[in-house]
Copies of this chain bind each other. A is one copy, B any other.
């Protein structure tokens, strides 16, 4: 690795001259600047980022801590984060909590000691159920944190949330009012998450307002969720609309409906949650709530960058990213 020192020696100038010349300082003569930059290019000099980071105590790195990357929603958010950071010349260190509190804590511990300028996090399931917030509070004192999707209300930091309640409320209302559905079923495999609870509440409200009967099928950690859905459908042949609040059970339900010889969307409408491939793996293309993962990532990153680049301590913001009801082939779309 070529260093400033070596350049300086080769050019017979001091290290500080080289440093200044390369940062195009007005203190340095044009001639010298040219000589320096030419040699630097020739030897392919690149400043050592670690040394810069130590000196300036800025890393230009953001720590991203998510429960999983195999959940397409998080993958999409991370993609949005990456794109935004990249545009502002930031890098990211990704840690996967695997829904484990301990791992999340370790990641925060490790990265908070100089490695990153700030954090973007979706809290682990375990953190959410245990209500452990110490690691956030400790780090948060010195390092900005932005939470998205899975958010802890009692941690003081900026947040990017999804209008889970409203979204599912609207979707349910659509099925009831526009499609005149009377016997709705909600399917959930994320019942214990805050977002899941919100979504179920949105459903419940719409159902209640219409004076219908609420019906919820919970599938947490089942081995054969599809069979449970099928059974449920067989036992409740009057079901005329299904709303799934995760990215997978909607498609599953769609497949099961076909098995009981009902037509989608004529006999039964299905609304699921979007993910990158949902359009491709379902037939007819499933109608979905599009959560705008990319936008959420983008928004989170921008929020964090704002905090990082303002010297004065900024007030914490909470931004809501609206979901979009995207009606495709499994609803009637009148």
Q: What residues of chain A have their CB less than 8 Å away from a CB belonging to chain B?
A: 1, 44, 46-51, 53-54, 59, 61, 68-70, 72, 75-76, 78-79, 82-83, 86, 91-96, 103, 109-115, 138, 142, 225-226, 248, 251-252, 255-256, 258-259, 276-277, 280-283
Q: Closest CB-CB distance, A104 to chain B, in whole Å?
A: 12
A239 to B42, CA, bound (A): 61
Asked if B96 and A93 sit within 8 Å, CB to CB, the answer is no
Which of these, B48, B94, B103, B252, contacts A113 with CB under 8 Å? B48
Asked if A115 and B91 sit within 8 Å, CB to CB, the answer is yes
- Listed A/B pairs (5) with beta-carbon separation below 8 Å: A47-B113, A54-B54, A69-B82, A86-B95, A281-B281
**Least CB separation from A47: chain B residue:** B113
The interface residues of chain B lying within 8 Å CB-to-CB of A252 are 280-281, 283
The interface residues of chain B lying within 8 Å CB-to-CB of A225 are 280
Asked if B53 and A50 sit within 8 Å, CB to CB, the answer is yes
**Least CB separation from A76: chain B residue:** B70
**Least CB separation from A64: chain B residue:** B94
The 9 tightest CB contacts between A and B, nearest first, are A255-B283, A50-B114, A46-B113, A48-B114, A281-B281, A251-B281, A94-B94, A69-B75, A50-B54
Q: Closest CB-CB distance, A157 to chain B, in whole Å?
A: 19
A256 to B91, CA, bound (A): 42
A258 to B171, CA, bound (A): 29
Q: Closest CB-CB distance, A266 to chain B, in whole Å?
A: 16
A48 to B70, CA, bound (A): 32
Assembly of this chain: how many copies? 2
Asked if A280 and B248 sit within 8 Å, CB to CB, the answer is yes
If A49-B114, A91-B95 are given as contacts, then 11 extra A-B residue pairs at C-beta distance below 8 Å, sorted by A number, are A47-B113, A48-B114, A50-B53, A50-B115, A54-B54, A68-B79, A70-B276, A72-B75, A91-B115, A251-B281, A259-B283
Asked if A226 and B283 sit within 8 Å, CB to CB, the answer is yes
Question: Which of A44, A68, A110, A115: most chain B Cβ within 10 A?
Answer: A115
A31 to B110, CA, bound (A): 28
A277 to B95, CA, bound (A): 22
**Least CB separation from A59: chain B residue:** B50
The interface residues of chain B lying within 8 Å CB-to-CB of A72 are 70, 72, 75, 277
Asked if B281 and A282 sit within 8 Å, CB to CB, the answer is yes
Asked if A110 and B276 sit within 8 Å, CB to CB, the answer is no
The interface residues of chain B lying within 8 Å CB-to-CB of A70 are 72, 75-76, 79, 276
The interface residues of chain B lying within 8 Å CB-to-CB of A277 are 72, 248, 277, 281
Asked if B113 and A248 sit within 8 Å, CB to CB, the answer is no
**Least CB separation from A46: chain B residue:** B113
Query: If the complex has contacts A49-B113, A252-B281, are A93 and B91 also in contact, measured as CB distance less than 8 A?
Result: yes
A113 to B2, CA, bound (A): 10
Asked if A49 and B115 sit within 8 Å, CB to CB, the answer is yes
A51 to B53, CA, bound (A): 9
A283 to B109, CA, bound (A): 44
**Least CB separation from A82: chain B residue:** B96
Which of these, B59, B69, B112, B259, contacts A69 with CB under 8 Å? B69
